[in-house]
Amino acid sequence: MGALTVAFHGDIQGLEQGIGILAGEMGFQWAEDGLPIKVEKTSGQLEASLTEGNGLIRFQENIHFFRALGLFIEALAEGDSFQLMEEPQFTMNGIMIDSSRNGVIKVEEIKRMLRIMAVMGLNVMMLYTEDTFEVKSRPYFGYMRGRYTHDELKECDDYAVLLGIEMIPCMQTLAHLSEALKWSFAEPMKDSADILLVGNEETYTFIEEMVDAISAPFRSKRIHIGMDEAMSLGLGNYLSINGYRKRHDIMNEHLVRVKEIVSNKGLKPMLWSDMYFRLASQFGGYYDTEAVITEDMIKDMPKDAQLVYWDYYHQHTEEYETFISKHKEFGCDVIFAGGIWTWSGTMVNYKISFNTTNSGLTACKRQGIKEVFATLWGDNGTETNVFSALLGLQLYAEHGYSRELDTEKLYKRFAFCTKADADAFMDLTAMDVTPVNPEEYKHLPPNPSKFLLWQDILIGLFDRQVDGMNLGPHYETLASKYAGYRDQNESWAFIFDMPHKLAEVLAIKADIGNRIKKSYDKDDRISLQQIVQDVLPVLEVKVRELRNAHRKQWFSTYKAFGWEVIDLRYGGLLARIDSAMQRLREYLDGETDTIEELEAERLYFDGPKRPHGSVLGWSNQYRRIISASPQ
């Protein structure tokens, strides 16, 4: 059977190049003698139908056309007559990719993501850039961080518009600027290590330079100006210069100045909402149901700036509805930002992503919120590859075209849009949702694959956490599974090869610290000898294989800058395996009577936001995982 050919006629002006880009993705050719498809631009529902050999696509926005085209090609493979109707639930539905925590996604991979988004029907992409874009007047801004040039961002925007996708510039204008403010040029503009000095004229010159640089490559007249999590606002250099002022007043003063800058350039700003709620809370909490939004706060908030309510944590629709209602009190448009959990460590967590997304987006539909997007953060070094979140993108897309989520349709659409198996992607979560912690979500979702990978073999800050859990067999099973997924999902082999190698490492390493400690405590030298001779050398080989797979995965997706951080983590892990073997040999050979690290008592790991006791829990900071000593 020959290649599928189709012939479009009707309202296709402005769609031709996008059709050409996606033809290969969807497996068809455009030819005059192909299956006729009439294209009609209209309002309301999108439609993809085929009757007696004649196709029809109706759409309102260009992104709806590409979604409908995908539905048409998908349905065509299953029958010669169909009518599919969908009602868009949101006017904006897209993603924000973190490009500031070392993983700066390459231009070609941004284009790859845009193609997938177009078939899914997602119409907005933001690249979260704190200092990873070029400001020519500030050579140290983004220096050696893989920053985007003007031409790179323009190339992405030019490509996105062909697919009906808006790229919105995204920056920070108050906090989260530690990587820029660490350089000498920023000293006069610093309130604290990561917060700009409000009221300083040089600060606003700098902000204007940033706004010019980040907005120039894009067609969009919208801009995300950040301004979240500025908890120490006004308490650093600002306090020394100006004395104490209410942070609410400082915040609004700054917002007025920033808004003036962007408005003068014809841009409409959006900003994270959390600081307004933290300042209204007696304990500084964002999700404080007792927080009182005062009339002064409402009055001072510019009504032409949009508040972005971010929430990736709540499990119940009613909770989201409560906070949406509180946001509406400000009288400005509300945008909802959920999250696909790519920031816990080595692997995406779909269990909590699905729970929170289903509740959050259902609340948005009930409350009439028309603009939503999913964040894909890369906390602590972007160890999780951004493409592992594709199933989460499909979840947002299917919510976006249906009042009620159809899970069976979600899985089918994912197979068509990505050429991948949804179950395989879902199973990435098994790296952290193990048989011993399937329901452990009272605080943050456990991430044992991160802390068990990086924790030290001899010091073992998490050894007591996993004592007696026998996680080795779980990871052995996963290693075999991921190898199969790698071979079955050819286009995404790089996504599954890394966790395959990681599971092989954890099958040994998850329990090795406790094995060594117990053998040492019993003075079981035969067991220790076997660990030194047979186990640790194999672990060393497996870690090297993991490092190579992770490096290949990184360079397939991201610029080179930032990999050095993860490379050093692997180097440290390998060095400590070597030191562990050396220390054990010295003990076994009688060169030392004790191993100090193994003499020490093992305690449960104690850290912020962690449940205490014999649960796996969550820890996402490498520096806290590897040692109790400062680095």
Concatenated DSSP letters of 158-197: HHHHHTT-EE--B--SSSS-HHHHTSGGGGGGEEETTEE-
What is the model's pLDDT at position 1?
A: 44
Spatial neighbors of 592 by CB under 8 A, at least 6 apart, are: 583, 586
Strand ranges inside 162-313, DSSP E: 166-167, 190-192, 195-196, 222-224, 268-272, 306-310
454 phi, psi to nearest 5 deg: -90, -20
How many CB atoms are closer than 10 A to CB 473? 12
Q: Mean pLDDT in runs of 10 for the chain (631 residues)?
A: 86 97 95 96 96 97 98 93 97 98 98 98 98 98 98 98 98 98 98 98 98 98 97 96 93 95 97 93 91 84 90 96 95 95 96 96 98 98 98 98 97 97 97 83 83 98 95 97 96 97 98 98 98 98 98 98 98 98 98 97 85 82 96 89
485, 427 in Cβ contact below 8 A? yes
Q: Which fold has domain 4-86?
A: Double Stranded RNA Binding Domain (3.30.160)
| Burial of 426 per CB tally in 10 Å (0-12, 13-18, 19+) | middle
What is the model's pLDDT at position 366?
A: 98
Tokens in use for 499? 């966790």
Crossing angle of helices 536-557 and 493-521, in 10° steps, is 150
155, 198 in Cβ contact below 8 A? no
Cα distances (Å, whole numbers) of residue 592 to 70, 185, 431, 580, 596 = 68, 52, 38, 14, 10
Strand ranges inside 358-398, DSSP E: 371-376
Tokens in use for 188? 């006069």
CATH of 432-626, one of 3.30.70.100, 3.40.430.10, 3.40.50.1100, 1.20.120.670: 1.20.120.670
pTM, two decimal places: 0.97
What is the model's pLDDT at position 248?
A: 87
What is the model's pLDDT at position 302?
A: 80
Residues linked to residue 28 through DSSP beta bridges, in sequence order? 4
Hey, what CATH class is 92-420 in? alpha beta
Residue 590, phi-psi category: left (phi > 0), alpha (psi -120 to 50), beta (remainder) = left
How many CB atoms are closer than 10 A to CB 347? 24
For residues 620 and 516, what is the distance between their CA atoms, to the nearest angstrom?
25
Tokens in use for 570? 């692997």
What is the model's pLDDT at position 294?
A: 85
Classify residue 427 by its DSSP letter. Answer: G
Can you tell me whether residue 336 is helix, strand or coil? strand
How many CB atoms are closer than 10 A to CB 357? 23
DSSP 36-91: EEEEEE-SS-EEEEEETTEEEEEESSHHHHHHHHHHHHHHHTT-S-EEEEE----S
End-to-end CA distance of the chain: 63
If we measure between CA atoms, which residue out of 83, 40, 98 comes closest to residue 64? 40
For residues 226 and 238, what is the distance between their CA atoms, to the nearest angstrom?
20
For residues 630 and 101, what is the distance between their CA atoms, to the nearest angstrom?
21
For residues 201 and 19, what is the distance between their CA atoms, to the nearest angstrom?
49
Listed by start position, the domains of the chain span: 4-86, 92-420, 432-626
Tokens in use for 470? 């026998």
Spatial neighbors of 289 by CB under 8 A, at least 6 apart, are: 322
Matching fold, domains 4-86 and 92-420:
no
Can you tell me whether residue 7 is helix, strand or coil? strand
